[in-house]
Structure 1
Amino acid sequence: MEKAKTKKNRGELAIGAVCVVLGILLAVQLRSVKVNSAADAAGAGRLETLQNLYNDEVDKSEKLQAQLDQTEAELQTYRDAAASGSSQSEALKAELSKLQMEAGLVDVEGPGVMVSLRDSTVANITGEEADYIIHDNDLLSVVNELRDAGAEAISLNGERLLATSEIRCAGSVVIVNGRRYTAPFVFNAVGDPTTLYNALTMRGGVVDVLGQWKIEVKVTASEKLLVPKYSGVIEFRYAAPATAGNAGTEEGVG
């Protein structure tokens, strides 16, 4: 009788232990399911956000391309009208070509200099890696020196630089006209080759300063360089031609 009672107690203990283990396993499984469900929901939400951002960028790109197509169609209309043959039309055609060059809307070529810049490859002795790589202010220094020396057209990595062009760092890349580029950086500048070359390589000039950080700068004079046209869309949202009656007037804000 005592043995039967002992066996019964052992059986109940075994069943209890199994129930406890099953309970723990079920709790762990439920928790795992909740965690996975939350992760799946977060992942789905992130994917949806990225998809929406992508769709917005595609819409913007399509709108800008449509504006560019419309502008080019209008320019072609003016070209066709200017090609009618009259002396007045010839004058308009010449003026249109000049304005297109000044606005950066056509490819131009001529003598000038090519400037290439590469990050330094020497050992870092300052502990600051940023001292040995090319930044936006380095590129802007080159642009300012070229413009001050009379460059008539400048491109950076194939991007035509206009008055509205931006050159700025974004992490490890440099954004030019909304596009991302990394070193090496190559400028093409049309102008007097000797003047441009001397402006860049003079003592204490931009090449000399960058050379102190062992950044490789190579300036090459050329008798014929190509500077491509601006490939984006020029849009003025706030600026408009001033009327004669409002010229010179100023109004404060607030």
Structure 2
Amino acid sequence: MNKLSKTIALSVVLLMLGFLISMQIRSLNPRKLLSTNDNAEFYMLQEEVMNLMRENSILTEQNERLSVELNTLSDDIAGDDTHLNEILQQKVQAEIFAGLTDVSGAGLEILLQYGEDTPVSSGTLLVVINELRTAGALAISVSDERVVALTEIRDVGSEQPRIIINGNSYSANSEFSIKAIFREDDLSRATSLMNDVVTQLSSYGIVTLNGFDQVDIPRLSEYSMTYRKYD
């Protein structure tokens, strides 16, 4: 790769990463969380905010690391492509984190089947999501809706309760499939942790936990409200 090509590639990568980082940091808004998840328990909202803070911290650290690597690469841009490849790899990781690409890997699926008489609440979904994040999930989806820092999950309606996820509406009486992908080293611990969660939630309905060698989690739909927030 010649000097001009490297320079162009670096510019594109850094612009995209800066954009993703700014979007994730902008999403940390406790007032917004409180207004959109007003039916969730307060401790769940606290956990959500803390998770977002940790996520934003990770992205900030990545940005600082990239700046150092860019300076190093600029000093010797005519050399090999090792540093550039490292930056491109971190670009891929940032895209996964922001939900802008499909992800596949070993992971877990939690299936909530409460039945027509017991609707699932947004609070229940948030409990499961927060526990998966605590266990080290790399990517999460709920009924094939990619869950990212900008995702809003909230209850609407009373006579016919529904749950809004990424701006899309689902019957609260329907079956909810929550999937998560983990690093191999974290999968065993995550399974143990989620077994405890499943035991607690099983008093409300049928809740099952399964592990798979390959779990497929789709990217954010470009038609979803959450995706449009990146515009």
CA RMSD of aligned residues (A): 2.6
User: Aligned to 1:103, which of 80, 84, 98?
Assistant: 98
Residue 228 of structure 1 corresponds to 218
Alignment of 1:139-150 (within 5 A): 139-150=125-136
Q: Which runs of 5+ in 1 are unaligned?
A: 1-74, 80-85, 122-128, 238-254
TM-score, length-normalised on structure 2? 0.56
Counterpart CA distance in 2 for 1:176 and 1:158 is 10
Give the 3-state SS of the residue equivalent to 1:117 in structure 2.
Answer: strand
Q: Displacement of 1:106 after TM fit?
A: 0.7
Which residue type is aligned with residue 184 of structure 1?
E
Residue 20 of structure 2 corresponds to none
Residue 144 of structure 2 corresponds to 158
Alignment of 1:124-139 (within 5 A): 132-139=118-125
CA 1:236 to 1:228, structure 2 compared with 1: closer, same or farther past 3 Å?
closer
Alignment of 1:24-35 (within 5 A): none
Alignment of 1:188-227 (within 5 A): 188-191=179-182, 192-202=186-196, 206-213=197-204, 215-227=205-217
Alignment of 1:3-82 (within 5 A): 78=12
TM-score, length-normalised on structure 1? 0.51
Give the 3-state SS of the residue equivalent to 1:186 in structure 2.
Answer: strand
Q: Any conservation in 1 of the 2:114–2:206 contact (CA below 8 Å)?
A: yes
Residue 40 of structure 1 corresponds to none
Q: Any conservation in 2 of the 1:112–1:196 contact (CA below 8 Å)?
A: no
Deviation above 3 Å: which 4+ runs of structure 1?
Answer: 234-237
What is the total number of aligned residue pairs between the two structures?
Answer: 144
Counterpart CA distance in 1 for 2:200 and 2:86 is 47
Counterpart CA distance in 2 for 1:91 and 1:198 is 33
Counterpart CA distance in 1 for 2:130 and 2:193 is 10
Which residue type is aligned with residue 148 of structure 1?
T
Which residue type is aligned with residue 175 of structure 1?
I
Counterpart CA distance in 2 for 1:155 and 1:96 is 21
Counterpart CA distance in 2 for 1:156 and 1:211 is 18
Give percent identity, aligned residues only.
29
Counterpart CA distance in 2 for 1:167 and 1:196 is 23
